[in-house]
Structure 1
Amino acid sequence: MNKEIKTGPIMTALLVAGFVGLFSETALNIALGELSNIFSVDATTIQWLATGYFLTLGILVPVTGILMQKFTTRQMFITSVALSIIGTIVAALAPVFSVLLTARVIQAAGLAIILPLTQNVIFTIFPPNKRGGAMGIMGLVILAGPAFGPTLAGLILDTLSWHWIFWFTIPFLVFSLIFGYIYIPNVNEIRKVSIDILSVILSTIGFGGVVYGVSVGGEFGWTSTTVLSTVIVGFIALILFAIRQTKMDTPMLNLKAFKHPQFVLGLAMNMITFLNMLSMLVVLPMFMQMALLVSAFTTGLILLPGSVLNCILAPTIGRLFDKYGPRAVITPGTILVVIGYALYAQYGTETALWIMVITHIVMMLGIGMVLASVQTNTLNALPKQYYPDGIAISQTSQQVAGAIGIAIMVSIFSAQQASSLADGTTLPVAAASGSSLVFNISLILAIINVILSLLMKKTQ
């Protein structure tokens, strides 16, 4: 390893910025009810504060792959943190809903750069036998941000106003900017790449159309013209985008990564994991608040031990991956996730809170074993020159899968709950019935992941 590169400070600067971005992704979820009253907008409109964030990530992450080849690591880092700071300040001062929504888009643009950039830096400054540990620490941040978001936000809402969810993060972003400015070197090779405008447009319509169509499915009905037309247009744009990439000398996103079977296998597992995890982080609090009748802050506390344990064990899991290879870590992880969903699917209105805590610990331990290890193995399957493309493909697919997962699972939850209420049950029983159906569907997907994990091989 290069002696001049100080890996500790570099990782600190990148991961603090990443944590704040991912914290912001979910922290606002707990305040949506309050914000819809403050800004006098309905529940579907306020949901755009979450959906808009995902939509921006889905659109911008593919473009980041080419930007990382065009601009230096330092330029990308400073732009990313500057966007996060501007978005956060505008959000904290937002007088009306439209300003808050715009601020969320600016925040998401910052995160869309920092996530792929961090992975790219890890794969450049660490040798293959140390990447698992480094990705384990990044996995910790990917999980800790969304997991601590609701708990901290619940505490802030109980004691201060919603503006402080944003003000709270500013010192961390400023720290990251200063630290990164001092320590982050330029690790990527700058190439003369031109940004193909048609590719950007097709990618935006493609990913944007699919995420938007699925996001409004619950509101407009899955068979409505708006939903079907945006999803179909999105898919057509993605097909045209893919065809165009194969015809270009220097494509915006090099799809040659798909020629590596272990990369494709890892991508599929990654998408299932994110679809399940992000929808669980939305449906589980709804189940606890509606069926078990606990407060937002208590919900956050119930989810805390699993998240904390995950953070403590993440570096160890990374080292085990480096030492014993992927299957030894990933297959047991997928089995724990299956056990978690099997238990969640059984729970009803009488479930004790301590059981929820233990189940969530099992679930988060499983997800922690799967997430970073799958990502490391997936990218290790590629030659070095494909890292920016492989990272862009995997980050885009997981954000899109997460957005689709939340939209579909929340709409299944709502439909099942409405049908139970129509049969004359109480709201807590109806909410339990809705979440049980969602967790059964997630259970089937989790079982598919166990089977896929058996096909994993160590890649180098």
Structure 2
Amino acid sequence: MNQSIQTDEIKRTPMVAVMLIGAFVGLLNETLLATALPSIMNDFGIVENQVQWLTTAFLLTNGVMIPISAFLIERFTTRQLFITALSIFATGTFVASISHTFELLLVARVIQASGSGIMLPLMMTVLLKVFPIEKRGAAMGMAGIVISFAPAIGPTLSGWLLEYFSWRGLFYVVLPIVIITIILAALFVKNVTEQTYPKIDILSILLSSFGFGGLLYGFSSIGGGHGDSEASATFDSQALAIIIGAAIILTIFIIRQLKLKKPMLEFRVFKYPIFSLSLVITMIVLMALIGAETMLPLYMQNTRGFSPLESGMMLLPGAIVMGIMSPITGILFDKFGAKWLAASGMAIVTVTTFLFTNLSMDTAYSFLVVIYAVRMFGLSLVMMPVMTDGLNQLPPEWHPHGTAMANTMQQVSASIGTAILITVMTTAASNYQPEQTAMAGLSEAEAINQLATGAAMNGYNAAFLVATGLSIVGLGLSFFLKTKTRKEQKSKQAA
């Protein structure tokens, strides 16, 4: 029996608010531990390569769960799935807060991600379901706050909390919020998604998990041994082998999905050109975005000597700009369409990214804050309008697959972007040749310090130059989007 109800009967505001909170907390945890990793290393007596798995495992599990979410959305009711996902996330958060070993903390992070990986695609599918097409921009703008603001605010929030509490305090703060959200979900979340009860295809789940998981792990591993050239070569060759293996598995997965009557993940969404184009632009935007969010904290902390909190505070105004602008750009999208918003935003991103290609030891803190904030303003004009435009092209029954595909590709592009930029950074740093005149008259210690600083700067600037190139490609592609008027949108809805 179909348990969904008509969208005009739903008090959608409290329902959407609850789902936004749930997805926000889930995505916040992607970066919440960023500044807490040194404290965890000290507590458990582990090294950097081990502690990094707390972030890597979370992202990998997310990347595995998101493609499966389309199947789960069609199998279970909205209410069942959202409350279950929140409960799984709460369980992981509780286990993390009482973890007395690193291994238990790692398991807790995997449990957390198993829940959070479902919440975002489910929230986006619900927004597409309960809002008419001419109001989706504003609705997806609210989702943009979650997608962009939550991960951006994570390092700043954790840096502030660690001034007063231990790393366990991060989980103590999150847990009561999640419990309250579960109670609110029981009161306000209704069943709006259509249940088609697809059969469980174990082989598809395994292929998806190993394919997407392997791809994410492979790209995130590139450059893992960059402190040592021999270690780097070993890491990179292993990562390349994993990426090739994952690509083969994904090819088998895609072929299987195209042959199944009820696929776990519908790849026919790519037959809609604007959806495909919007996905490519979104991936390019995320790869460029990762340039700033990965490189600037490294530059500030490792090269300039700023504290994690100072580094986090530098990113905060940009995160706030993104949070404020997301709903505004959603309203603008409903009125004007995606094309000119995306083109304007990509132009801003291109210029501001290029301004980061000339970093030095004397670059002002205020310059970094302002340019990063302006850059995030540009990104806010692109992210959700382009994604919403793409998802609007799909028939309603494919919305779960469209949102799952969009979110999966975001995870993959973030990993690819990080891998590319770290590789460029380390390669440029290792190939740095200083001007001999600049080294003249320096003591051996001063010369070594000058060489290390110059190499680091060369690496950061080269990485931002590549990010600028990606932004230019995104700018060019944005002109192929179509401008839709409100009249055309209403006509499409009526049809």
Superposition TM-score, scaled by structure 2 size: 0.89
- SS across alignment from 2:103: helix
Distance in 1 between the 2:237 and 2:428 partners?
23
Residues 67 and 265 of structure 2 are in contact (CA less than 8 Å); yes or no, is this contact kept in structure 1? yes
Pairing 1:291–2:303 present: yes
Q: 1:452 aligns with which of 471, 477, 485?
A: 477
User: 1:90-110: per-residue Cα shift (whole Å, max 9, x none)?
Assistant: 111111111111111111111
| Distance verdict in 2 for CA 1:63–1:434, change over 3 Å | same
- Which one-letter code corresponds to 1:330 in the other structure? A
Contact 1:51 1:403 in 2 (8 A): no
Q: CA deviation at 1:248?
A: 0.9
* Whole-angstrom CA distance in 1 between matches of 2:271 and 2:131: 25
The corresponding residue for 1:392 is: 404
Q: 1:158 pairs with 159, 163, 169, which one?
A: 163
- Correspondence 1:395-410 to 2 at 5 A: 395-410=407-422
Structure 1 equivalent of residue 248 of structure 2? 236
Aligned length: 460
Q: Which amino acid aligns with 2:117?
A: A
Identify the residue that residue 153 of structure 2 maps to in structure 1: 148
Aligned 8 A contact 1:421 1:427 in 2: no
1:276-326 deviations in Å (ceiling 9; x for gaps): 223431221111112332111111111111211221222111100100111
Cα deviation 1:17-40 (Å, max 9, x = unaligned): 111111110111122223223222
Aligned position for 1:84: 89
1:345 to 343, 350, 357: 357
Q: Which consecutive residues of structure 1, in runs of 5 or more, have no partner in the other structure? A: none
Once residues 3 and 233 of structure 1 are traced to their aligned partners in structure 2, the CA distance between those partners, rounded to angstroms, is 47
Does structure 2 conserve the Cα–Cα contact (< 8 Å) formed by 1:203 and 1:241? yes
TM superposition shift of 1:433: 2.3
C-alpha distance 421-293 of structure 1, shift in aligned 2 (>3 A): farther
TM-score (normalised: structure 1): 0.96
Aligned-pair identity in percent equals: 37
Matched, 1:218 2:218: no
Distance 1:153 1:9 in 2: 28
Q: Is 1:434 equivalent to 2:446 in the alignment?
A: no
Q: Which residue number in structure 1 is paired with residue 346 of structure 2?
A: 334
Q: Distance in 2 between matches of 1:36 and 1:128?
A: 49
- Residue 72 of structure 2 aligns to a residue whose secondary structure is helix
Aligned to 2:285: 273
Distance of 2:352 and 2:43 partners within structure 1: 37
Tell me what 1:173 maps to.
Answer: 178
Aligned-residue offset at 1:222 = 5.5
| Distance apart, 1:340 and its partner CA | 1.5
Q: CA RMSD in A?
A: 1.8
- Misfit runs of 4+, over 6 Å: none
Residue of structure 1 in register with 2:492 after alignment: none
For 1:359 and 1:3, how far apart are their aligned partners in 2?
A: 43
Q: Cα distance, 1:270 vs. partner? A: 1.3
Q: How does 1:37-76 map to 2 (within 5 A)?
A: 37-76=42-81
Whichever residue aligns with residue 221 of structure 1, its letter is S
Residue pair 2:337, 2:385 contacting (<8 A) in 1 also: no
Measured in 2, the distance between the counterparts of 1:346 and 1:155 equals: 30
Q: For structure 2, which runs of at least 5 residues remain unmatched after alignment? A: 1-5, 225-230, 435-446, 490-495
Q: Which of 392, 396, 415 is the matching residue for 1:380?
A: 392
Of residues 305-314 and 97-106 in structure 1, the stretch that sits farther from structure 2 once superposed is 305-314
Q: How does 1:187-266 map to 2 (within 5 A)?
A: 187-219=192-224, 221=232, 224-266=236-278
Q: C-alpha deviations, 1:238-267, integer Å up to 9, x for none?
A: 111111111111111111101100011011
